[in-house]
A and B are shown apart, each in its own frame.
Chain A
Amino acid sequence: MNPELTKIIEDYLNGDLSASDASVFEQKMAENGKLRNEVDFQRNIHEAAKRLALKSQISSTAKNYHVLRNLIISGAVILTLAIATGVFYVLKNTDKKVEIPVEQQREMKQLLDAQAPIDLLPTQYFQWQGNDTVFRSPRGVLISVPKGAFLENGKPYEKPILVQYQEAVDIQDIVKSGLSTMSGDQLLETQGMFGLQAFTTESKRLDVNPNVGVYMQVPVDEVKKGMLLFEGVKSKEGVVDWQNPQKLQKLPTLADMNELDFYPPNYEKTLNELKMKTEKKFRDSMYLSLEELGEGIYDTPEMENYWDFHESTLKLPSKMGVQLLDKDTIIEQSDDNDSVTASNEAPMFIPPSNVLAFWKPTFNNTNLSTRDFESRMQTIHATCDPAVLKLYTTNLNLSLSEIDAKVVKMGYPQFQRFADEQIGKLEVSNAHLLNLQQFYDKSREALRKSAAEITAARKKNEKNWDDKTNEVRREENVRTSVRDTKNRMEEMELNTESVYRQLGKKRPELGPSVGFTITSNVAIYNIDRFVAERTTTRTSGTFFDKETGKTAKLTYEKMKLIVEDQASFARVFVYLFPNKLSSYHRITPKNGSFEYALNQEFSYDLAIVAYKDEGYYFYSKKFITATDLGTLKLDAISETKLDATLTSMNSSKAIKSDDISQDIAWLLHEKADNVVQKKRKLDRELRLRLAEVCFPCMGFERETVEEVVNI
């Protein structure tokens, strides 16, 4: 872009070009669209500069406006005289009502209206019967008049009185009232002005008891920092000057412990999503049981003791997610001796025991049983710092706002907004507070202990079960190897007899001395060795006997089968019951199919047992042939029937069978263990998921519940 051109356009726009130059320029513009655009663009820059100037003017107006408003105030309460009727909704009142007669009220009102502190505002009246009462004005201002709030000659006045009230909450009313917002020569920003006076039935004005006071709560658009309460003092000219600023203090809103919620955010939501029980008792104990997870003493299942396929897929919680903030760098230097520093200890989480310990009716009517603390608790959970909670639980004698300020000093600026609310103190006797303090400590310890006990009991249960499983498996392993050996011996014996029979020879009796003659150079190859080799490898073979010139044959043929939908079962066992052996074979699968070479001298019965969570499945066939049996479909079977069927298959053989009951017991235990392990895994997952919700600063690695279910 040409700077010279910019200059010419600029001069043209500002009328600095000579008349002739200007007309040349205009002609050129008419011919050249690009130049026209250029000029328009530059004109826009001028306009933008102008607009910008206007904008900054507006923002400086805004600044001035806010500076003035921020100078000071909000509420101004005028306490002076009083009379007659109720525009008020009485929220809470006593039963013994002594109404001031309507006629008398009217008279009083006429008299008292003239004494109203704010001339141009309408007056409202309500009767007060001498007991704790809360009134709500049409504008939503709450006025709480406790017992003994008014004095006559320094003594609490307890007969019915008429309270006169005036309010100017929004700008129209304030303007209408003609009230100044000046404190000396400072302009105040107001969030409302009020007039309140109390009168006896004799129209005598009462004093406000400074030790009790009347509490007012005013709805505002926003809580502004630094709002103060001013008292209005009328000058002789009738102009109100606002004096004696005091901090505003909101009273905490008491609620019953049963109605409050101190769980971590989303804890209940998560439980609801999982459709867990809604009883508080259940949810409390679930919450308490998470404590060990927060402490990181997560119990590793002792899977290494297991002999077979139960592999641990569970990942342990890592502490990598824990953020260790160096709080010292944030904390302001302070002379305040009781300023607390945040704990730097590793597991940053709010122990459930610390929460549940105060969540009891015993703590009703303390700072902790307030809606205000309930809302703080959400933020406390998010800090993950038990030291923050401790400040609130150990300082029951302080006001919430004093504690809020301490927490801010600890390095948690998010509590500033609470501190700004200026929540005042609840009057509870010190002796009572001390008791509560001790009670809290005791019940926290008790809860911690009970959490530990629950964990220990659960671990003990799990260990017992695992020990039993291990024992059952160990025995089964021994039995299997004994059975295999015995089967082989028996089969070898039968094969040997068969070979001798085929050769037509008499089997030599084994005696103390056995003699034989070496007749060739080949390695000795006697009948027994032939039989042993064939039996062990389960392959067919022939044996030629030189002596007799006869041939003996041992035949093994392969049987093969596939179980339909095998993957859907937790485990599948294939049993073969040979008619001539006293025990059975259990075959392990190879690449998804079951194969076994059958001795053609025997007949075999087949049984297939499988289980999954829902129960057992079974297939059986008598006298199977050594072929590919194809894909076999299993049918559901009850545990008792399974037991009976297997027992009868085992015993319906030519010879006496070995006892199978222990083996069946083992099978049933495996099935039970399958369920137990799965449930445990789901439990762990659930607890990890909840711990994640409850202890947001700790990292827990876990699979999702869905994944676990799909294993």
Chain B
Amino acid sequence: MQEVNLKNLYRRWPIVRRELRILGCQGSAAEDIFQEALLILCRKLEDPRFELDVEAIHYVKSTCKFLWFNQARKAQKQQTVELNQEVAQIDEDWLEKEEKLTSIEEAILKLGKQCQQILTLFYSKSLSMEKIAQKVGLRNEKVAKAQKYRCIQKVKELIQHGKS
């Protein structure tokens, strides 16, 4: 169901693009923000405490604005924020955590293709180790599991290394 949503939501991109452009956000930066907003929506939907009380596209739109203002504020740019803009309220703690996750993502992306596959398949689709082994071409479940440990270990090391 969520997949269907994404496709439909993406079709509304031109409208969002137009609105973002009015706010001075253009080109690939705008689309990045749009995608980030979609991601936030999807992740929020997984949270049982989250209630989507508006149409999904409205939520995405106002999140886009929030992200853009946030980004502009960080870049210390002078932004004229129109007061009647509908801007999503996303709490700072949550955003902070998302940022932390982004840095872990970066570490994961530095891993080999196989590691990336194992981790994303295991944690997002909750596939069994057996199926994952088949997909990524490992001999059996055990080998895949051992490989998964190594991958996690590697991510930790990368982050630790990055910090030091």
Question: Interface with B: A28-36, A57-65, A76-84, A147-155, which one?
Answer: A57-65
Give the nearest-CB partner of B156 in chain A: A1
Would you call A46 an interface residue if the criterion is a C-beta within 8 Å of the partner chain's C-beta atoms?
A: yes
15 contacts between A and B (CB under 8 A): A3-B153, A6-B153, A10-B148, A10-B149, A44-B104, A45-B104, A49-B108, A49-B119, A51-B43, A52-B108, A56-B120, A58-B35, A61-B10, A62-B10, A221-B21
Q: Which residues of B contact A170 (CB under 8 A)?
A: 14
A53/B14 in contact, CB under 8 A: no
Interface centre among A46, A55, A59, A64 (most CB of B within 10 A): A55
B4 to chain A minimum Cβ distance, whole angstroms, is: 10
A50/B124 in contact, CB under 8 A: yes
Given the complex of chains A and B, what is the CA–CA distance between A6 and B149 in angstroms? 7
B112 to chain A minimum Cβ distance, whole angstroms, is: 14
Give the nearest-CB partner of A171 in chain B: B14
B122/A49 in contact, CB under 8 A: yes
Q: Which residues of B contact A55 (CB under 8 A)?
A: 35, 39, 105
Interface centre among A7, A42, A45, A46 (most CB of B within 10 A): A45
B152/A64 in contact, CB under 8 A: no
Which of B3, B21, B153, B160 is A57 in contact with, Cβ under 8 Å? B3
Q: Which residues of B contact A10 (CB under 8 A)?
A: 148-149, 152
A64/B7 in contact, CB under 8 A: yes
Which of A45, A46, A56, A65 is B156 in contact with, Cβ under 8 Å? A45
Query: Knowing that A6-B153, A65-B11 are A-B contacts, what are 11 other residue pairs whose CB atoms are under 8 Å apart, sorted by A's residue number?
Result: A10-B148, A45-B156, A49-B120, A49-B124, A51-B105, A52-B105, A53-B125, A54-B39, A54-B42, A62-B31, A65-B10
- Cβ contacts B101-145/A at 8 Å (1 or 0 each): 110110011000000100111111100000000000000000000
Given the complex of chains A and B, what is the CA–CA distance between A62 and B7 in angstroms? 8
Give the nearest-CB partner of A8 in chain B: B149
Chain A residues 208-241 with CB under 8 Å of chain B are 221
Give the nearest-CB partner of B118 in chain A: A49
Given the complex of chains A and B, what is the CA–CA distance between A41 and B10 in angstroms? 33
Would you call B49 an interface residue if the criterion is a C-beta within 8 Å of the partner chain's C-beta atoms?
A: no
Given the complex of chains A and B, what is the CA–CA distance between A48 and B158 in angstroms? 14
B44 to chain A minimum Cβ distance, whole angstroms, is: 11
Interface residues of A, count at CB 8 A: 30
Would you call B73 an interface residue if the criterion is a C-beta within 8 Å of the partner chain's C-beta atoms?
A: no
Given the complex of chains A and B, what is the CA–CA distance between A49 and B39 in angstroms? 13
A6/B156 in contact, CB under 8 A: yes
A53/B7 in contact, CB under 8 A: no
Interface centre among A41, A48, A58, A61 (most CB of B within 10 A): A48
A44/B7 in contact, CB under 8 A: no
Which of B7, B108, B125 is A48 in contact with, Cβ under 8 Å? B108
Given the complex of chains A and B, what is the CA–CA distance between A46 and B148 in angstroms? 11
Chain A contact residues, majority secondary structure = helix
Would you call B61 an interface residue if the criterion is a C-beta within 8 Å of the partner chain's C-beta atoms?
A: no
Q: Which residues of A contact B122 (CB under 8 A)?
A: 49
Interface centre among A3, A41, A54 (most CB of B within 10 A): A54
Given the complex of chains A and B, what is the CA–CA distance between A10 and B151 in angstroms? 11
Would you call A47 an interface residue if the criterion is a C-beta within 8 Å of the partner chain's C-beta atoms?
A: yes
B31 to chain A minimum Cβ distance, whole angstroms, is: 7
A420 to chain B minimum Cβ distance, whole angstroms, is: 16
A6 to chain B minimum Cβ distance, whole angstroms, is: 5
A336 to chain B minimum Cβ distance, whole angstroms, is: 33
- Cβ contacts A1-19/B at 8 Å (1 or 0 each): 1010011001000000000
A236 to chain B minimum Cβ distance, whole angstroms, is: 29
Given the complex of chains A and B, what is the CA–CA distance between A694 and B93 in angstroms? 54
Would you call B100 an interface residue if the criterion is a C-beta within 8 Å of the partner chain's C-beta atoms?
A: yes
B13/A65 in contact, CB under 8 A: yes
Given the interface pairs A6-B149, A221-B18, the reply to whether A50 lies near B39 with Cβ below 8 Å is: no
Chain B residues 8-61 with CB under 8 Å of chain A are 10-15, 17-18, 21, 31, 35, 38-39, 42-43
Q: Which residues of A contact B124 (CB under 8 A)?
A: 49-50, 52-54
Given the interface pairs A45-B104, A49-B120, the reply to whether A1 lies near B42 with Cβ below 8 Å is: no
Q: Which residues of A contact B38 (CB under 8 A)?
A: 58
A88 to chain B minimum Cβ distance, whole angstroms, is: 24
A221/B149 in contact, CB under 8 A: no
Given the complex of chains A and B, what is the CA–CA distance between A3 and B147 in angstroms? 12
What 5 pairs between A and B have smallest CB-CB spacing?
Answer: A53-B124, A48-B104, A53-B120, A49-B119, A49-B123
A65 to chain B minimum Cβ distance, whole angstroms, is: 5
Q: Which residues of A contact B17 (CB under 8 A)?
A: 221
Given the complex of chains A and B, what is the CA–CA distance between A58 and B120 in angstroms? 14
B37 to chain A minimum Cβ distance, whole angstroms, is: 10
B39/A58 in contact, CB under 8 A: yes
A6/B10 in contact, CB under 8 A: no
B149/A1 in contact, CB under 8 A: no
A57/B6 in contact, CB under 8 A: yes
B123/A46 in contact, CB under 8 A: yes
Q: Which residues of B contact A46 (CB under 8 A)?
A: 123
Would you call B155 an interface residue if the criterion is a C-beta within 8 Å of the partner chain's C-beta atoms?
A: yes
Given the complex of chains A and B, what is the CA–CA distance between A242 and B6 in angstroms? 28
Give the nearest-CB partner of A7 in chain B: B149
Given the complex of chains A and B, what is the CA–CA distance between A55 and B15 in angstroms? 21
Q: Which residues of A contact B12 (CB under 8 A)?
A: 171
Given the complex of chains A and B, what is the CA–CA distance between A1 and B152 in angstroms? 11
- Cβ contacts B71-115/A at 8 Å (1 or 0 each): 000000000000000000000000000101110110011000000
A11 to chain B minimum Cβ distance, whole angstroms, is: 9
Q: Which residues of B contact A6 (CB under 8 A)?
A: 149, 152-153, 156
Q: Which residues of A contact B7 (CB under 8 A)?
A: 61, 64-65
Given the complex of chains A and B, what is the CA–CA distance between A523 and B35 in angstroms? 111
Given the complex of chains A and B, what is the CA–CA distance between A180 and B122 in angstroms? 41
Given the complex of chains A and B, what is the CA–CA distance between A45 and B17 in angstroms? 32
Given the complex of chains A and B, what is the CA–CA distance between A170 and B153 in angstroms? 51
Given the complex of chains A and B, what is the CA–CA distance between A408 and B49 in angstroms? 56
Q: Which residues of A contact B3 (CB under 8 A)?
A: 57
Give the nearest-CB partner of B18 in chain A: A221
A1/B157 in contact, CB under 8 A: yes
Give the nearest-CB partner of B146 in chain A: A7
Q: Which residues of B contact A58 (CB under 8 A)?
A: 6, 35, 38-39, 42
B131 to chain A minimum Cβ distance, whole angstroms, is: 15
A54/B43 in contact, CB under 8 A: yes
A171/B15 in contact, CB under 8 A: yes
Given the interface pairs A1-B157, A41-B156, A221-B14, the reply to whether A53 lies near B149 with Cβ below 8 Å is: no
Given the complex of chains A and B, what is the CA–CA distance between A1 and B7 in angstroms? 42
Given the complex of chains A and B, what is the CA–CA distance between A194 and B15 in angstroms? 20
Interface centre among B21, B105, B116, B157 (most CB of A within 10 A): B105
Q: Which residues of A contact B11 (CB under 8 A)?
A: 65
Q: Which residues of B contact A61 (CB under 8 A)?
A: 6-7, 10
Q: Which residues of B contact A48 (CB under 8 A)?
A: 101-102, 104-105, 108
Given the complex of chains A and B, what is the CA–CA distance between A55 and B14 in angstroms? 20
Give the nearest-CB partner of B12 in chain A: A171
A272 to chain B minimum Cβ distance, whole angstroms, is: 27
Given the complex of chains A and B, what is the CA–CA distance between A46 and B120 in angstroms? 8
A325 to chain B minimum Cβ distance, whole angstroms, is: 28
Give the nearest-CB partner of B11 in chain A: A65
Given the complex of chains A and B, what is the CA–CA distance between A41 and B152 in angstroms? 11
B122 to chain A minimum Cβ distance, whole angstroms, is: 7
Given the complex of chains A and B, what is the CA–CA distance between A34 and B31 in angstroms? 40
Q: Which residues of B contact A1 (CB under 8 A)?
A: 153, 156-157, 160
A51 to chain B minimum Cβ distance, whole angstroms, is: 5
Give the nearest-CB partner of A16 in chain B: B145
A10 to chain B minimum Cβ distance, whole angstroms, is: 6
